[in-house]
């Protein structure tokens, strides 16, 4: 069954999908490109002795070129993986293990994706030292702090292009330049940004870059790692050994249909960026934010507005618990900053790293807009959200007190 019910003649199809930072639907053009590689052309790209293999290999090499073109790389610098989690692992652990003799220090950021942070934790258990840079209230790192964090033993800096929760874009060009000056490798997890921002690995001095298809209108379960060749060439130690595929960096039979899908998604992303489609997506995001501000008070934008992906909005609706909100607006697919799915009830570590208080972090909602969203969906969602927030706040004694002019911080809560 499709998660969407049929569109009513005059209305918006529900539920509305505003969670494009979590995953995106496959573009129909991607699906179309993938299909022939499942049955008709099912060959193993590594089969060198017949036309089934040759055709599959040709398709894989075309996709490699499409991915390389998107980021200004050469096809030989693209290693296919099972997704960005693997790409991040390969970048961090692969570089660490290959360059261990040079030094055992890595610099990254507290707000990185778990695939980065947990890879770093794994290395720490093996004796590496990791510096986790903090971020300011806007979610941005300080270049001075980065400068101070470099040591003689530093082999790698890993900073994401744009954050998956708050969409904040880090000063990648400046970071790349600092790393180059010091001869330190620079890895960038660019998963969230690739469909929306022009990224050129040469211009930005990026040595390794992680890619995931399903955040850019491609299929799940496929990604890539850019590993710069040039001088000196970047080396990573493989994590998955076997037939020596992908120049020994990642063994395993290449998933032709998935790779074709990633390639097509990369080509569409490039065309989309060139055509300015991102402006349409930004307009949807802005329309919701303006509408919310016109209708509700006590809203807090999480993360820099200026240094931000066009498709991301992350808002705290003060005095409205995120989970209650999510239950109330089930017709809108978005996500909450209070990770109640985990046993811990810990609010988002990204918001906490920015200094957002626990209570406010629990009220945060992330809206992620994408290629297939419409203005009508924004208007429908806006009406639903405004109604629900007003309703929930009417039941909130705290909100009422604030509206009566009471400073909550001045209250001496009774201790139990
Ligand atoms: C989704 C995501 C990943 C993981 O990618 P998968 O392909 O799902 O493994 C890594 N980094 C960021 C920033 C992401 O948003």
Mean pLDDT in residue range 174-202: 98
CA–centroid distance, 330 to ligand 1, in Å, is 24
Mean pLDDT in residue range 12-25: 96
For ligand 1, what atom is nearest to the CA of residue 212? 7
340 in catalytic set: yes
Mean pLDDT in residue range 147-160: 98
CA–centroid distance, 166 to ligand 1, in Å, is 14
Which of 192, 212, 312 to probe ligand 1 with, by most ligand atoms within 8 A of CB? 212
For ligand 1, what atom is nearest to the CA of residue 222? 7
Does residue 369 register a pLDDT over 90? yes
Secondary structure (H, E, C), the chain = CCCCCCCCCCCCCCCEECECCCCCCCCHHHHHHHHHHCCCCCCCCCCCCCHHHHHHHHHHHHHHHHHHHHHCCCHHHEEEECCHHHHHHHHHHHHHHHCCCCCCEEEEECCCCHHHHHHHHHHHHCCCEEEEECCCCCCCCCHHHHHHHCCCCEEEEECCCECCCCCEECCHHHHHHHHHHHCCEEEEECCCCCCCCCCCCCCCCCCEEEEEHHHCCCCCCCEEEEECCCCCCCCCCCCCCCCCCHHHCCCCCCCHHHHHHHHHHHHHHHHHHHHCHHHHHHHHHHHHHHHHHHHCCCEEECCCCCCECCCEEEEEECCCCHHHHHHHCCCEECEECECCCCCCCCECHHHHHCCCCHHHHCCEEEEECCCCCCHHHHHHHHHHHHHHHHHHHHCCHHHHHHHCCCCHHHCCCCCC
Q: Give the tens place of pLDDT for each residue, 108-130.
A: 999 999 999 999 999 999 999 99
CA–centroid distance, 167 to ligand 1, in Å, is 13
pLDDT category of residue 30 using cuts at 50, 70 and 90: very high
Q: Give the tens place of pLDDT for each residue, 272-299.
A: 999 999 999 999 999 999 999 999 999 9
pLDDT attached to residue 1: 46
pLDDT attached to residue 405: 87
Which of 115, 120, 213 to probe ligand 1 with, by most ligand atoms within 8 A of CB? 115
pLDDT category of residue 9 using cuts at 50, 70 and 90: low
Q: Give the tens place of pLDDT for each residue, 202-223.
A: 999 999 999 999 999 999 999 9
pLDDT attached to residue 377: 98
For ligand 1, what atom is nearest to the CA of residue 162? 13
pLDDT attached to residue 407: 83
pLDDT attached to residue 74: 98
Mean pLDDT in residue range 227-242: 92
pLDDT category of residue 4 using cuts at 50, 70 and 90: low
Least confident of 119-123, 195-199, 217-221, 334-338: 334-338
CA–centroid distance, 212 to ligand 1, in Å, is 6
pLDDT category of residue 344 using cuts at 50, 70 and 90: low
Task: Give the mean pLDDT of the chain.
Answer: 94
CB distance 113 to 251 below 8 Å: no
pLDDT attached to residue 226: 98
CB distance 24 to 311 below 8 Å: no
Q: What lines the ligand 1 site, CB under 6 Å? A: 83-85, 88, 113, 115, 160, 164, 189, 191-192, 212, 214-215, 223
In this predicted model, which residue has the larger pLDDT, 344 or 351? 351
Q: Give the tens place of pLDDT for each residue, 358-367.
A: 999 999 999 9
Mean pLDDT in residue range 214-234: 95
pLDDT attached to residue 360: 93
Does residue 47 register a pLDDT over 50? yes
The residue from 120, 188, 334, 340 that is catalytic is: 340
Which of 164, 197, 199, 261 to probe ligand 1 with, by most ligand atoms within 8 A of CB? 164
Which residue has 């349409």 as its token pair? Answer: 280
CA–centroid distance, 85 to ligand 1, in Å, is 6
Does residue 416 register a pLDDT over 60? no
Write the residue with the smallest CA distance to atom 3 of ligand 1. Answer: 84
pLDDT attached to residue 230: 83
pLDDT category of residue 11 using cuts at 50, 70 and 90: confident
pLDDT category of residue 400 using cuts at 50, 70 and 90: confident
Distances (CA, A) of 26 to 21, 59, 283, 311, 406: 14, 19, 22, 17, 50
pLDDT attached to residue 232: 80
pLDDT attached to residue 414: 61
Mean pLDDT in residue range 228-234: 88
């Amino acid at each position: 069954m499709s998660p969407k019910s049929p569109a009513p003649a005059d209305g918006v199809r529900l539920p509305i999908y505003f969670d494009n930072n979590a995953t995106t639907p496959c573009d129909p053009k991607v699906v179309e490109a993938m299909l022939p590689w499942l049955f008709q052309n099912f060959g193993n790209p590594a089969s060198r002795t017949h036309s089934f293999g040759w055709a599959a290999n040709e398709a894989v090499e075309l996709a490699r070129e499409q991915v390389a073109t998107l980021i200004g790389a050469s096809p030989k610098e693209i290693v296919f993986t099972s997704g960005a989690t693997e790409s991040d692992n390969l970048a961090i652990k692969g570089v660490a293990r290959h360059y261990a003799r040079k030094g055992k220090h890595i610099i990254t950021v507290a707000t990185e994706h778990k695939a980065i942070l947990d890879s770093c934790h794994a290395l720490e258990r093996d004796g590496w030292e990791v510096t986790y840079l903090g971020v300011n209230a806007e979610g941005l790192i300080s270049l001075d702090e980065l400068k101070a964090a470099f040591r003689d033993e530093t082999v790698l800096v890993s900073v994401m292009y744009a954050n998956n929760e708050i969409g904040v874009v880090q000063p990648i060009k400046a970071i790349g330049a600092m790393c180059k000056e010091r001869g330190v490798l620079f890895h960038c997890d660019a998963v969230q940004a690739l469909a929306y921002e022009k990224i050129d690995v040469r211009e930005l001095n990026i040595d390794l870059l992680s890619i995931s298809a399903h955040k850019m209108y491609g299929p799940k379960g496929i990604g890539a790692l850019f590993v710069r060749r040039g001088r000196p060439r970047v080396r990573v130690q493989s994590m998955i050994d076997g037939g020596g595929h992908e120049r020994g960096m990642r063994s395993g039979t290449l998933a032709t249909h998935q790779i074709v899908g990633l390639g097509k998604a990369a080509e569409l992303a490039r065309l989309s960026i060139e055509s300015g489609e991102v402006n349409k997506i930004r307009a949807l995001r802005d329309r919701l934010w303006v509408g919310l501000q016109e209708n509700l008070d006590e809203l807090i934008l999480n993360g820099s507005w200026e240094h931000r992906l066009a498709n991301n909005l992350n808002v705290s609706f003060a005095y409205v618990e995120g989970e209650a909100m999510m239950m109330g607006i089930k017709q809108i697919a978005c996500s909450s900053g209070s990770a109640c799915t985990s046993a811990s009830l810990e609010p988002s570590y990204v918001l906490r790293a920015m200094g957002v208080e626990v209570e406010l972090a629990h009220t945060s909602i992330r809206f992620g807009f994408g290629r297939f969203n419409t203005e009508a969906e924004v208007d429908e969602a806006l009406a639903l959200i405004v109604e629900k927030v007003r309703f929930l706040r009417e039941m909130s004694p705290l909100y009422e007190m604030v509206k009566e002019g009471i400073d909550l911080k001045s209250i001496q809560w009774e201790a139990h």
